[in-house]
Structures are given as C-alpha cells and as structure tokens.
Copies of this chain bind each other. A is one copy, B any other.
C-alpha cells in the first residue's frame, strides 16, 4: 500500500463538521462527526462513520437513532467543544442552548444551520468506526449558513 497516496486521496474526499446528538434513558451524548454522505433518495438515507468504543456510540446504538446538527460555517469553536464527551448542564450542552427534536426527542441546537432526525436501519461494524445507515425522518433549517467544511478549519480527520 502506498500510504502517502492513500492519506492524500482520502483527505481529498470533502467532509464537513456536524454535532451528532442522542438522548436515551437519561443518557445524553453529543459528539463532533465529519464522515457523512447521503446514500439514497427514496427513502432518504444518510451514512455516518461513528467512532466505536465511545460514550456516544453506546448511547446511539441503544437509541437506534440520532440527530445530526449542521454547524454554521463560522462555528469552528463550537465544533471543537464536542471533540470529547460533554454532559448537559441544565439546558446547555457545551455552553450552547439545546431543545428536544420534534420526533425522536434528541437534543437540537436552535442556533445552527439546521438538523436532521435519523432512525438507524443498518450498521456495519468492521472498522474502528461503525458505518451507521439511517433514514431521515424530519428536517428543519436554522438561522445560520452552513456547512462548516473541514478544509476551512485547518484540521484533518481522515487519511
């Protein structure tokens, strides 16, 4: 394997940053994720690569659903807050106000570019991240313009 070429090309795949949230049986999870693609029109499916052996993955697996919050293009600082596990404090998560999503009741952030509510329909667990295949059940736009592209942050996640 040409490791340098693999790294360069996998980092050429464009990715944005999102806050994935989930609440299940009193446990709340919120993590920054970036490996996302659409995967079907009918039904509308998305795929998320979700790091295994994490609090967020365990809560999501139990809930069999999640919300993907689309960060605004200027919300790099907020993305950074959710690189590690952050618990809720009152109505705040990472210092940001959150509410319940309409269908699945997972946390949403009103001051972002929007969110999609997703129900998991399949999972492939053959790598260090799980391939989570999920149907979009509901969507709502927020006040900010997105996306927050990784390529604009100076960070890398991939390769």
A115 to B129, CA, bound (A): 23
Chain A stretch 21-62: residues in CB contact (< 8 A) with chain B: 35-47, 49
Chain B nearest CB from A140 CB (Å) reads: 5
Candidates B9, B41, B70, B140; contact of A116 at CB < 8 Å: B9
A10 to B115, CA, bound (A): 10
A39 to B40, CA, bound (A): 17
Q: Which chain B residues lie closer than 8 Å to A40 at the CB level? A: 49, 126-129, 131
Give the interface residue-count category, chain A: 35 or more
Q: Is the CB of A131 within 8 A of B133?
A: yes
- On A, residues with C-beta under 8 Å from B are 1-2, 5-6, 8-10, 12-16, 35-47, 49, 70, 113-116, 121-122, 124, 126-129, 131, 133, 136-141, 146-147, 149, 158-159
